[in-house]
Homo-oligomer: A and B are copies of this chain.
Amino acid sequence: MAASEGQWVLMATGRSPTNIAVIKYWGKRDEALILPVNDSISVTLDPDHLSATTTVAVSPSFPSDRMWLNGKEISLSGGRFQSCLREIRKRGCEFEDEKKGIKIKKEDWENLHVHIASYNNFPTAAGLASSAAGFACLVFTLGKLMNVKEDYGELSSIARQGSGSACRSLYGGFVKWCMGKKDDGSDSLAVQLADETHWNDLVIIIAVVSSKQKETSSTSGMRDSVETSPLLRYRAQTVVPSRVLKMEEAIKNRDFDSFAKLTCADSNQFHAVCLDTSPPIFYMNDTSHRMISLVEKWNHSQGTPQVAYTFDAGPNAVLIAPNRKTAALLLQKLLYYFPPQDKDLSRCGRPSCTSRDEDTGSEIQGRR
């Protein structure tokens, strides 16, 4: 370490979008390593809309690791944060900034403490994958700070240990989280199926039914499902594998019909498994049901899917339209049937996926 030890602070800032699963992840086969019972596929949102922004700082003057989420200090003692910090520190590389008098050797990272400040520009723990964006951003930004050379696949496997679905936020476009087979989880990582330019007509509208924090966390919910739902295993072993293949085809061919049918069916099946859990888990409410009915009736009346819906671990609808024209029609219908005084129907964005490197102003296109 340089002579100026204690004087300097090194910082990095990154931004990661959230992602929306179209083939759902629900159920772990390994709780500690966060290894799933099935593959999943997601679309990464445009970071301009729903994203986490994280700044990490390191300095010899920091006596301990600390973190602030949306301005409020939170504990880093949990195993998930510790896993991410440990795995990134292990992979840190030598860094030197002669002008500032900073010189960090590979082994120094183990002893340097970090301060982390992260912000979500959308509700936390309301079933909008805030932890996915958050952990992806944490790992990405720490990796940048610590000069980590690993590729996005390897980083995704680290982010996975923070929050399973975080691994899918490392890439833009359409992303598959391969469940992997190995006991150590090293092959349980994300791969990009198609980048954000592949199908950029798609428009995603998030209808925020409630921004309250959910009653059942995803973590405890999926643990209960694995332990008590007779249908979960069948879904994971028999239904999902064939759906994943069909979904990959649909994405490759930009086949909105198949994409929409698979997306809706898989959302409903995930919530079916939640209901088959003891005690049952209800993430959707009457408003969610009414939104589904609206879309189903519309799709039925047209004879072909106009819009797809998917719900994560919360009542908020994620609606996917094939183009801006249909999205405008959808918005009209939503505003008519769910007037804004009742509901906060607002966020709308293209599922683009640039990852802005805010430190330098450069954008890493097509990689995340």
Contact = CB atoms under 8 A, between A and B. Distances in A.
Interface of A: 228, 230-231, 234-235, 238-239, 261, 264-265, 268-269, 271-273, 275-280, 282, 285-286, 289, 292-293, 296, 300
B275 A275 contact: yes
A313 to B, nearest CB: 15
A275 to B, nearest CB: 4
Nearest to A243: B230
Nearest to A233: B234
Contact of A272 (B231, B279, B286): B231
A293 B216 CA distance: 12
B272 A276 contact: yes
A32 to B, nearest CB: 26
B279 A300 contact: yes
For A228, A264, A276, A279, which residue has the most chain B Cβ atoms within 10 angstroms? Answer: A276
A176 to B, nearest CB: 20
Given A264-B278, A286-B285, A269 B231 contact: yes
Given A228-B265, A272-B273, A282-B289, 20 more contacts: A230-B269, A231-B235, A231-B239, A234-B234, A261-B278, A264-B278, A265-B278, A268-B275, A268-B276, A268-B277, A268-B278, A269-B275, A269-B276, A272-B272, A272-B275, A272-B276, A279-B292, A279-B296, A280-B292, A285-B286
Contacts of A296: 279-280
Contacts of A238: 230, 234
